[in-house]
Amino acid sequence: MAKTRVGIINVTGYAGIELARLLCRHPEVELTSVTGRSNAGKPLAEVFPHFAGIDLTITPHLEAVDFIFSALPHKESAQEIIPMLEGEAKVVDISADFRLKEAENYPRWYDFTHPAPRLLEEAVYGLPELHRDMIVTEKLVANPGCYPTGAILAIAPAIKAGLVAPDIIFDSKSGISGAGRTLKLNTHYSEANEDTSAYALEGHRHLPEITQEIEALAKKQTFAITFVPHLVPMTRGILTTAYASLVPGKVAGGRTGEDELVKYFEDFYQDEPFVRVVKSPPHTKHTLGSNYCHIFPTIDRRTGRLVVISCIDNLVKGAAGQAIQNMNIMLGLPETTGLESLAVYP
């Protein structure tokens, strides 16, 4: 039986090249076409020497494929994808262009007017742990952002069980690869090394995505969400700590309450192949290079406040790996196919 032909639009960004790395070893699909404007005409292995032995040439336009990943920046991705949706190929978009359901959010958070608002309702938000049943049947899936993946997975069981008050704080720390390959002053080695900084305190563009999914899970209850991202001097990884006040009477006090909380999380994720509720606070190295999300829920006994720590690789579960997880679901393949590698350590 012929393998599904897969293409990547914009292979030369960090998410695109991570997609290529994972797809080249996927047993059920064949990566047949990759695009990149500035490197069109060059062998992939010439631009990225770690692909030595892989016979693929970067082209300016996508060739005939059955499945498409778009790794273009926001705004550009929608413009490229919309005409392609008229064909038979299914699409996973790694940009933010189809994540938000309300078109009016795009001028505010992404500085452009969405060219196809009707597609925002049709596209499925591609967090399998929440929307697997819809992902199965859809043609266009919006891959979640890296920060929202860690944040939403950290708090979803507590939201679903009605354990927390509607005021949540997310503190997230990300490696520099999350800023992409385009050179910026704050990601130069001498600027970022031995330095940690908070940014986007006026509101990060991933905030409406986090809010949208949390409020949908809570049946449209309104939440006040504070999200503060930080840049830390490492290549990969996102460590998120979520804080929320517990609703009185929902869990017991002391160790009994902590055990009850862990049980809520374990039950919520018991059938999820890439989420692990762990016994101690996770480190970013625990998920490095893997599609896993590690989650550690606990209660601050002094304040009665919920504290949940989650950890992902921003380029895998936060981007390319989750995109392939979505592809597997859309193609009717076992969800874990090509994604079961453990973390790289040290």
Active site residues: 146
The alpha carbons of the chain give a radius of gyration, in whole angstroms, of 20
Segments of 147-261 assigned E as strands: 164-174, 197-198, 224-231, 238-246
CB 56 within 8 A of CB 42: no
Whether the ω angle into residue 346 lies within 30 degrees of 0, i.e. cis, is: yes
Q: Which two tokens stand for residue 57?
A: 């040439």
Neighbours of 74 (CB within 10 A): 19
Looking only at the bridges linking them, the beta strands covering 197-198 and 67-70 are unpaired
DSSP codes of every residue in 186-208: GGSHHHHTT--EE--TT--TTHH
Side-chain-side CA neighbours of 316 within 13 Å: the count stands at 27
